[in-house]
A and B are shown apart, each in its own frame.
Chain A
Amino acid sequence: MDDVMKDRIEQLVDFIMKWCLWQFHSRTWDRERQNEEILTKTMQLLCDEPLDLSTPSDRCYWVDAVYLANGFKKTCPWLDTMDKKDIKLLMQGLKERIDYLTINGSLNQELTNPLY
């Protein structure tokens, strides 16, 4: 991953950390689901791909994804210059980084507690 891509991912991470809450559910299994569902839907919105909104949960993830996609576009004008292939790579990198910060590299000792 080149430095430009890393820098762009950090800008997206900064937006999520400052303006979102969904990434901090209490347990690993919940964070994995949140990160996967919301970031996948955000990628689909940014790439104009169809989304599955068939369940209330899907709508809930979609709501956060729309907020994220709009926020990304507003704060990161360079997104407009990227093609869909690169956006997918960017979002994959973002997903890995968020997973690392909130799950794999997290210092939160309660993440694997079987209770809430």
Chain B
Amino acid sequence: MPYHTFKCSECIPERAMHAVIKGPGEDLTSCLPLGYLNTIPGTISERGCAFCGAKHVIGAPMKDVIHLCHGPVGCTYDTWHTKRYISDNDNFQLKYAWTTDMKEKNVVFGAEKLLKQNIIDCFKAFPHIKRMSIYQTCASALIGDDINAVAKKVMEEMPDVDIFVCNAPGFGGPSQSGGHHKINIAWVDQKVGTFEPEIKSKYVINYVGDYNIQGDAEIIVDYFQRMGIQVLSTFTGNGSYDDLRGMHLAHLNVLECARSAEYICNELRKRYGTPRLDIDGYGFEPLSASLMKVAMFFGIEKEAQDIIDEEIARWKPELDWYAKRLKGKRICLWPGGSKLWHWAHVIEEEMGVKVVSVYSKFGHQGDFEKGVARCSEGALAIDDPNELEGIEAMEILKPDCVLTGVRPGEVSKKMRIQYLNIHGYHNGPYKGFEGWVRLARDLYNAIYSPIHQLSGLNISKDEIPTDKGFVTRKMISDVNIIEDGKTPIEERPYTGECDIVTRLRGKKYPKLEPQQPLGMVMEGGEAING
């Protein structure tokens, strides 16, 4: 059987089916861990809660919105700013955090009056912002505050404002994934169809499931705009509240991250007939295929091919430089979310590194199906790992680098295993052709860091050599590379700029002419644009 029992979890037999090793001939009918179940008492999970999934992951990347948490201040603090979902309106959503700061007396006597006053105060403090999301927390849900009624009352009193209510308290699911589900459905129930954005192109999409970490979404939107496609909304990275109310007018939903956002795509498919196209946004080959698929849907293949050719010609020599030096290195791919399957195969194909383990803290079995299917034999897949299991996995697998978030990353550093932050990113964006090279560069810098080599010395007892010079990255990484006449001379380390996103914001694109509605008849016979 492919199930793997960690020594540290032998006393917790319920963990027996939460880790698998993909053996020879194993497929998804024999090798799949359990997933998205209640965390087992006795094992300390590193998961976030449903409120965190709704507010921190999905809702808060919306840029022109006051994101008010109705609960104790700690809930807000724990969901603030640990992901760098930047925006092109001066990072309004990152600069401020709003909370009603419920106290004991509010729990006893109710907090609806407190909430109403806070909403009004928020709008007065930021008079140029007319949109708000209110997030329920465990405290306000347990006492039964009727947030919807309060929001409705304020909207009657202040007709120029619009408020979205997200009822996803922390206990609303076994992990943050429960919050993803709730906010998706709440948005489509409450807001989609209540605003009519201007349609400017014959080709209109929603780009769904990207949260603009260090500008990821803006990189992809640039490609689409160069193709003449109108990106009606980005759900929800750098997304505008009103654009997201108009999602029903798109011709196609392009979905990047399944479990955080497939719910809204499925609802839009059911209610408005908008088809859903799942894409990979990382890696040269998958990204090229993704751009071409979207182009084919609209019949604009040449526009996509021109971009693919240009980007690959510019960036492939730099990716190849790193791939040559990263070949054979071993990584644990522990992202927690969708990079589990976005990267499992392509990072091996295009950078030569071997993925020896994948994990997710809140992934469903469907997420693991994708990851396990794409991993090579021998990979260890772990659902909802705790810190001890992570440590044991690193001791067994001996990776050169762990790609993960801050908390497990700090643990790996203490074990003298380098880590790369692929939640908030070290030096992203990592999406797009150039972004993929930036990831390779960060991986290279991590694995071959001279400081990392020195960190193993114990200055209190080790003999410190004083007759040797400082070892550079090149001295370590290039020892096995044979330069010969076949080596392409154009291969080189990364030559891009530090900030590759800001310059996109003033960029001019082919002018789009306002379009008459297409009146396309979708599934179920509904005319969605007429």
- A residues near B (Cβ < 8 Å) are 17-19, 21-22, 24-26, 30, 55-57, 59-60, 62-64, 66-67, 100-102, 105-110, 115-116
Asked if B275 CB lies within 8 Å of chain A CBs, one says yes
Nearest neighbor of B365 in chain A, beta-carbon distance? A108
User: A56-B252, A106-B29, A108-B365 known; A18 and B275 CB under 8 Å?
Assistant: no
Chain B residues whose C-beta falls within 8 Å of the C-beta of A22 in the assembled complex = 278
User: A107-B29, A108-B32 known; A116 and B181 CB under 8 Å?
Assistant: yes
* Among all A-B residue pairs, the 9 with the closest Cβ atoms: A105-B29, A60-B275, A17-B373, A21-B278, A107-B32, A108-B365, A63-B293, A57-B275, A63-B296
Chain A residues whose C-beta falls within 8 Å of the C-beta of B266 in the assembled complex = 26, 30, 116
Q: Which of B259-279 contact A (CB under 8 A)?
A: 262-263, 266, 273-279
| 23 chain-A/chain-B pairs, Cβ below 8 angstroms | A17-B373, A19-B286, A19-B289, A21-B280, A22-B278, A26-B366, A57-B273, A60-B275, A60-B276, A60-B277, A60-B297, A63-B277, A63-B293, A63-B297, A66-B296, A67-B293, A105-B28, A107-B29, A107-B365, A108-B365, A110-B366, A116-B181, A116-B262
Q: Which of A21, A30, A57, A67 has the most CB of B within 10 A?
A: A21
Nearest neighbor of B267 in chain A, beta-carbon distance? A116
Chain A residues whose C-beta falls within 8 Å of the C-beta of B29 in the assembled complex = 100-101, 105-107
A41 and B105 alpha carbons, distance in the complex (Å): 63
- B residues near A (Cβ < 8 Å) are 27-30, 32, 34, 36, 181, 251-252, 258, 262-263, 266, 273-280, 285-286, 289, 292-294, 296-297, 341, 345, 364-366, 369-370, 373-374, 520-523
A24 and B134 alpha carbons, distance in the complex (Å): 33
Q: Are B286 and A116 touching (Cβ within 8 A)?
A: no
Contacts A55-B521, A116-B181 aside, 8 further interface pairs with beta carbons under 8 A come to A56-B523, A57-B273, A60-B252, A63-B297, A107-B29, A108-B28, A110-B364, A110-B366
Nearest neighbor of B372 in chain A, beta-carbon distance? A17
Chain A residues whose C-beta falls within 8 Å of the C-beta of B292 in the assembled complex = 67
Nearest neighbor of B374 in chain A, beta-carbon distance? A18
Nearest neighbor of A17 in chain B, beta-carbon distance? B373
Q: Are A26 and B520 touching (Cβ within 8 A)?
A: no
Nearest neighbor of B523 in chain A, beta-carbon distance? A57
A55 and B523 alpha carbons, distance in the complex (Å): 7
B363 CB, nearest partner CB in chain A, Å: 11
Q: Are A102 and B28 touching (Cβ within 8 A)?
A: yes
A60 and B255 alpha carbons, distance in the complex (Å): 12
User: A66-B296, A116-B266 known; A21 and B28 CB under 8 Å?
Assistant: no
Q: Are A26 and B28 touching (Cβ within 8 A)?
A: no
Q: Which of A24, A56, A109 has the most CB of B within 10 A?
A: A56
User: A107-B365, A110-B364 known; A21 and B370 CB under 8 Å?
Assistant: yes
B175 CB, nearest partner CB in chain A, Å: 13
Q: Which of B258, B273, B341 contacts A56 (CB 8 A)?
A: B273
